[in-house]
Structure 1
């Protein structure tokens, strides 16, 4: 072990080194996020001052402001942040606009801008969108709208001609962390506005920290790297989520039978986030905004119930789409890039299908559907061997109508003619820019025994939370443990629980569909790869293993 980390227990030293942290200073910084130290001055972000000045002049002149937000679990919490801010300062001349995913699609659109201008809007603030909307920015200018773009997606070679752009991925921005999510960027804008005028408006110092429930929610849900400032926003965001008095959050948690005080990252990724996203995938995205911004519990309950139903319907539809995709792909010779779609598939759901197919087929996947207006739109997910946005922008002009996204995931629209040759074009582009996949083998942090799954060690592991992108949960290897009981539980008996000889520790795996799990029985000796987590079911706190892989020993 490095002597520089020698003051830490062996377990902590190993986990730090696995994360590339080898000196005591970096270790201290990582293990103990500090709000004052890690959350930097918002005016360090390019164009923040110019944007703040324009918004303040709009407020002073009572101009009509539009918050134009993306329809996902980044844009909607971001819109909630700005809505809460304007309500707090008692500013009423504003509206929130969230485009319909299946009718209008992603980003700015001219019809929406026309409607906003007709309603007297003079300033449009985008949240989590706009960085690739060059034509729409020109249209906004012609309408006399001052467009302030706040976004975190990758800019392309040409930037929109907006009044101001806040996006730390743009050239010339030197902010220390360019990986904030859309709601994170919005929160920084609100912090900047309050820094200049908060006292005048009578907003208590520090009130903006209550908005971290939404910034933290998006930071985790949108899967940005949980390093640097994002790590602090996620950590403090979770702290606020556990104490938040937000009626919409409380209503949703009750419907899901979740204990607010025990919220962790997985609850956002698997429970809260999907229900927020269900609004745009299956219905009206404004319903999710109305839930999060609800002022009364009665109003919140109505929208929470709606989102629960939409999410249940979403699960069923995605399952049938995945089944259909598997059936279709089984009869195909799979190439390095796979394009699959169906005019009957909802574009709002194809990203979830792509995620499933990437895992199964270990290839970069493009999945498309057709919108209600007849446009072909889709989502893609990388298998780690290619930057999907770079690949999409490298194909010949005219193949795609529109593209956007990140390195690992993107969205696109394509013409009815080009869809037939899309896979050919992508395979050609891929062969020129493919990279070696980072170690695809399941990375194990260290080996433990079942007796080492204890609260003393958990206290050390917990210091590495919040877990997510760029900071995955530590993965442990347990060699030759003997099963005392293997049982399936849940309504459909699809979840596996293993008990072990001479140990109170249990291991679980949700949706244990693989046949090999059904063959496990008492007396089997197995190697287990798993993470450690706290189970708080029925308010009992116990440590358990979450299975990644089980290998039966002969």
Structure 2
């Protein structure tokens, strides 16, 4: 098992498009009408008070004094889009609000490195600068802050990166992590968001044209830095996107045009993948000043030239990126990537400005934490970019290894570090040890998430347009994805210049496109598939049609990818009705994810055999542990066979929960509807039919009449029963049960050795009054209840039923 699909919620049907939208918002944590209205209508009046940020009042007072006293102010930025746009935001604000042109400094990625640099501060001091304001950097610059004091520089730090337990000795430190208010609205802002909060505070918390003109730049930096697009970030980005077309920023307008996009319909996705990369390219392989000058210039000719240069620079970056990616792949081909817990590689040929993008690509492909280092052999140093899987906070992992590092910084998903090359091996060992202590095998599984299940016939253009109200899409607010089940593919073929992509149509006439799925066409043609997809309206040659943009697909009855239903501490994995259950079970048992599974199989002979073949796992048919196995613990429960009743299902789950390794209850359902007839047959053969009991009574009557008395020896009658042709199904169990039922019906008296006929033979027996018979016959009724429960499509309901189960005394 290498990946899973996860369904956030299940619905049988939706009455209309508004109900669908509400359901998505609710499952994304927006439960009240007020929360949903704020999300759908993010207004600037909802922005948080900038003075909630510690240090803000001090910073505002110092900056206003500097302006009043004509002191020299310098903005110290960073070389990525967040740092560049942060610098541009405060530069434009100072110029428009106070009619002053502050100076700025952007570090060179190679020469200066990330963040505050003591040598740079010395050069800044020589220029007579009085006040330095950092944007998007400085939160870990302890030595540099001390050097600033020595140089007579006042220092204000604005940064959004994670601070340590101590703060640099600056005049003021503005960072949203320092706010101790619960549910702080601006708790996830980027560097440019932090810079905007400073401008907002300098503007006396008034939202006017001074700030409105900054919003397109704030949206640009926020989107580019991949922070969650919710709460304050959503307000900033939504309003920023709406103002891009009317923005007076000539450089931004020229860049949008050079990228072939339209400012009046620009999406967050287009900014992330078409507009931000050329700006980033400047800081990666050239100088970030080139990008900043584009965002600062008021000269249309200069802006157009700079935009074209950045587009060309980005193409160079893409070519260099591909070379590094292929070199990294060559290195990975020489290691056992299947059993690796991380990817940590370094090379002197690699550019430190490009390895971050390559790390992201490797993360997407292998779903492992990635650290790529560019070696500077002359200095004996390596600069590395880190990218992480969702289960790992990469910043905390680096904190664990900081004794081996020169420095590091970043946040949960991405970080950067500097290390001496000679310490790379010991760092790698220490980092992987931390992963072993922190992560489980299940944390490495790639997850494809779907908001809801949906039927194709519900999709209309109106429904898709309703979903557009959730824009802008990005981190923490992805475009809605839906689970579509049991679709038959009628036509499938490869498209694109290199035939990398897949186009297909379903039996319902729905059109779908899957990027980078070139090898799937023959596999899915004329097959029944499940899809996780994003519905969209595709415009082509003046025509519009509904299209599914595929995130992932699988063959319904052949895939080993489970569908996860997760509620509170219950995790139910759906692998029911697989076409080859035996092969699937072996694959699961061989997977490192299943450390020690408890496996329910209702056939004792198979249980014994499997326990000898797979000693690391525990197979059982009876949901009780022997004393010799009482200390066993289980990572998962696999219900391979179909139980016979709800009570038995609960007992199976109880056996596992009492011995589970983790707090979560992880159950894999592998049952098949093909088992239903087998279980019914077992149940029917577990007790005699009414006709068979009556036939036994006839046989007893015949024997007594031929002997001329009313009493017969039990063993003599049993032998007569076995020899008789009257009854087809015979067993000692049936014989015993039939006699007990007849005795309860007061037709015979039973003793240890004898059977005595009490009354004359009746044509009909009153089985309804016989408790023994009713208990046995209700087994089928109980099984039918289980069948309905365990094969329902919505396993959320099953999880709720199991968690709330109270035994019916009649089940006992």
Distance in 1 between residues matched to 2:429 and 2:311, nearest whole Å: 40
Residue 352 of structure 2 corresponds to: 347
Match of 1:109 among 111, 117, 124: 117
Match of 2:411 among 391, 406, 409: 406
Residue 145 of structure 1 corresponds to: 153
Q: Secondary structure at the match of 1:442?
A: strand
Structure 1 residue 426, shift from structure 2 partner = 0.6
Distance in 2 between residues matched to 1:373 and 1:254, nearest whole Å: 42
1:379 aligned to 2:388?
no
81-90 or 303-312: bigger deviation: 81-90
Alignment length (residue pairs) = 541
Deviation per residue, 1:129-178 (Å, 9 max, x gap): 00011110111111011111000000012210011101010265775422
Residue 683 of structure 2 corresponds to: none
5 Å-filtered alignment, 1:241-320, equals 241-320=244-323
**Structure 1 residues 260, 520: CA separation in 2 closer, same or farther (over 3 Å shift)?**
farther
Is this contact kept in 1: 2:76–2:135, CA < 8 A?
yes
Is this contact kept in 1: 2:489–2:529, CA < 8 A?
yes
1:330 aligned to 2:336?
no
Match of 1:416 among 401, 421, 427: 421
472-481 or 337-346: bigger deviation: 472-481
1:119 aligned to 2:133?
no
Residue 184 of structure 1 corresponds to: 193
Q: Secondary structure at the match of 1:241?
A: coil
Structure 1 residue 85, shift from structure 2 partner = 1.2
Is this contact kept in 2: 1:248–1:304, CA < 8 A?
yes
Structure 1 residue 482, shift from structure 2 partner = 4.7
Structure 1 residue 322, shift from structure 2 partner = 1.4
Structure 1 residue 535, shift from structure 2 partner = 4.5
1:14 aligned to 2:19?
no
**Structure 1 residues 424, 524: CA separation in 2 closer, same or farther (over 3 Å shift)?**
same
Distance in 1 between residues matched to 2:459 and 2:354, nearest whole Å: 39
**Structure 1 residues 294, 540: CA separation in 2 closer, same or farther (over 3 Å shift)?**
farther
Q: Secondary structure at the match of 1:121?
A: coil
5 Å-filtered alignment, 1:91-106, equals 91-92=99-100, 94-106=102-114
**Structure 1 residues 173, 402: CA separation in 2 closer, same or farther (over 3 Å shift)?**
farther
405-414 or 360-369: bigger deviation: 360-369
**Structure 1 residues 321, 425: CA separation in 2 closer, same or farther (over 3 Å shift)?**
same
The unaligned stretches of length 5 or more in structure 2 are 1-9, 558-812
Distance in 1 between residues matched to 2:179 and 2:212, nearest whole Å: 30
Q: Secondary structure at the match of 1:180?
A: coil
Distance in 2 between residues matched to 1:439 and 1:22, nearest whole Å: 29
Residue 201 of structure 1 corresponds to: none
Deviation per residue, 1:76-117 (Å, 9 max, x gap): 111111111122135445211110112211101011111111
527-536 or 54-63: bigger deviation: 527-536
**Structure 1 residues 543, 108: CA separation in 2 closer, same or farther (over 3 Å shift)?**
farther
Distance in 2 between residues matched to 1:383 and 1:228, nearest whole Å: 23
1:515 aligned to 2:523?
no
Distance in 1 between residues matched to 2:124 and 2:540, nearest whole Å: 48
Distance in 1 between residues matched to 2:278 and 2:397, nearest whole Å: 31
Structure 1 residue 491, shift from structure 2 partner = 4.0
1:134 aligned to 2:142?
yes
**Structure 1 residues 299, 325: CA separation in 2 closer, same or farther (over 3 Å shift)?**
same
Is this contact kept in 1: 2:78–2:115, CA < 8 A?
yes
Is this contact kept in 2: 1:318–1:352, CA < 8 A?
yes
The unaligned stretches of length 5 or more in structure 1 are 199-203
Distance in 1 between residues matched to 2:349 and 2:389, nearest whole Å: 26
**Structure 1 residues 535, 159: CA separation in 2 closer, same or farther (over 3 Å shift)?**
farther
**Structure 1 residues 219, 402: CA separation in 2 closer, same or farther (over 3 Å shift)?**
same
**Structure 1 residues 106, 517: CA separation in 2 closer, same or farther (over 3 Å shift)?**
farther
124-133 or 347-356: bigger deviation: 347-356
Structure 1 residue 292, shift from structure 2 partner = 1.4
Structure 1 residue 274, shift from structure 2 partner = 1.3
Residue 54 of structure 2 corresponds to: 46
Residue 549 of structure 1 corresponds to: 552
Distance in 2 between residues matched to 1:339 and 1:194, nearest whole Å: 46
**Structure 1 residues 454, 529: CA separation in 2 closer, same or farther (over 3 Å shift)?**
same
Residue 810 of structure 2 corresponds to: none
1:452 aligned to 2:455?
no
Q: Secondary structure at the match of 1:22?
A: coil
Is this contact kept in 2: 1:489–1:497, CA < 8 A?
yes
Deviation per residue, 1:469-527 (Å, 9 max, x gap): 22222111233445565454444443443345564x543334x1552247665x55543
Residue 219 of structure 2 corresponds to: 216
Residue 772 of structure 2 corresponds to: none
Distance in 2 between residues matched to 1:431 and 1:91, nearest whole Å: 56
Structure 1 residue 313, shift from structure 2 partner = 1.2
Match of 1:464 among 457, 463, 470: 470
**Structure 1 residues 125, 25: CA separation in 2 closer, same or farther (over 3 Å shift)?**
same
Structure 1 residue 245, shift from structure 2 partner = 3.2
Residue 364 of structure 1 corresponds to: 369
Distance in 1 between residues matched to 2:51 and 2:140, nearest whole Å: 24
Q: Secondary structure at the match of 2:177?
A: coil
Distance in 1 between residues matched to 2:451 and 2:373, nearest whole Å: 37
Deviation per residue, 1:275-323 (Å, 9 max, x gap): 1111111111111111112212211111111111111111111112112
5 Å-filtered alignment, 1:496-511, equals 496-500=502-506, 503=509, 506-510=511-515
Structure 1 residue 368, shift from structure 2 partner = 0.5
Is this contact kept in 2: 1:103–1:371, CA < 8 A?
no
Residue 233 of structure 2 corresponds to: 230
Is this contact kept in 2: 1:80–1:293, CA < 8 A?
yes
Structure 1 residue 360, shift from structure 2 partner = 2.1
Deviation per residue, 1:19-49 (Å, 9 max, x gap): 123332322232322221x212212221111
Structure 1 residue 205, shift from structure 2 partner = 3.3
Cα RMSD between the aligned structures? 2.7
Which one has a bigger Cα radius of gyration?
A: 2
**Structure 1 residues 413, 9: CA separation in 2 closer, same or farther (over 3 Å shift)?**
same
